[in-house]
Amino acid sequence: MSRIEQLINEIEEYIDSCKYQPLSNTKILVNKEEMEELLVELRLRVPEEIKKYQKIINQQEAILADARSQAESMIADATAQTNELVSDHEVMQRAYAKANEILEEAKAQAQEIVDGAVSDANSIRQGAIQYTDNMLSSLQDIASRSIESTRSRYDALLGDLQSVYETCTRNRNELASGVMQQAVNVQDRENYEQENN
């Protein structure tokens, strides 16, 4: 198991171990620092894994080159045998037929080697691509869940701040109303005293 798969398992286990928010069956409380540490390590590991599988994909060229080299060597051997056989004038016709037979066999074997190498290389490449796609799909799921968790916390904070703002506004309005009423009472008292004096 690669380190990336281990990290994905750790993140999934961490998410599963988180407590739900009050009154919610879907939203959880996440320790931001712990989640960021896991995501930072995951972000650092992804390029390494992709490079590793890119190297495997690139090895297919080496496999094909080796197969071609073997095929060329077999053809060269067959050609050398042909030249030796036809050099003798007395057996030229027989040697020519034998040489063609050897040459065709060598070409058939060489083609089998090349076909096998191409098939192996394609299989390796397909496996690496599939693994990388699965890994990126897991990362997308984790990122989506993190975004949703962060959005719900932000919405809750915004609601709390709006409630505080509205409470402050009501209290200020009540204070202003009380000050105005007190000023009216003082003025009425002063007017009354002036009228009776």
Transcribe 108-153 into DSSP letters.
Answer: HHHHHHHHHHHHHHHHHHHHHHHHHHHHHHHHHHHHHHHHHHHHHH
Average pLDDT over residues 176-189: 74
* Predicted confidence (pLDDT) at residue 88 exceeds the cutoff of 70: no
- Give me the residue label for tokens 């993140």: 11
- Give me the residue label for tokens 């198991």: 1
Model confidence, pTM: 0.39
Q: Which of 45, 25, 29 has its CA nearest to residue 37?
A: 45
* CA 28/CA 35 separation, integer angstroms: 13
Residue 107: C-alpha distances to residues 64, 76, 88, 99, 153 (Å):
16, 11, 24, 12, 69
Q: In this structure, what token pair is assigned to residue 41?
A: 């390590």
61-65, 86-90, 101-105, 109-113, range with the lowest pLDDT: 86-90
* Predicted confidence (pLDDT) at residue 32 exceeds the cutoff of 80: yes
CB 86 within 8 A of CB 99: yes
> Which range, 41-50, 66-75, 83-92, is most confident?
66-75
pLDDT band at 111 (very low <50, low <70, confident <90, very high): very high
Residue spans of the domains in the chain: they are 3-161
* Predicted confidence (pLDDT) at residue 4 exceeds the cutoff of 80: no
* Predicted confidence (pLDDT) at residue 87 exceeds the cutoff of 70: no
* Predicted confidence (pLDDT) at residue 158 exceeds the cutoff of 60: yes
Query: pLDDT at position 30, please?
Result: 81
* CA 66/CA 116 separation, integer angstroms: 12
Higher pLDDT, 2 or 119: 119
Query: pLDDT at position 86, please?
Result: 56
What backbone phi and psi angles, to 5 degrees, belong to 141? -60, -45
* Predicted confidence (pLDDT) at residue 131 exceeds the cutoff of 80: yes
Query: pLDDT at position 197, please?
Result: 64
> Which range, 67-71, 164-168, 177-181, is most confident?
164-168
Query: pLDDT at position 16, please?
Result: 84
What backbone phi and psi angles, to 5 degrees, belong to 88? -85, 115
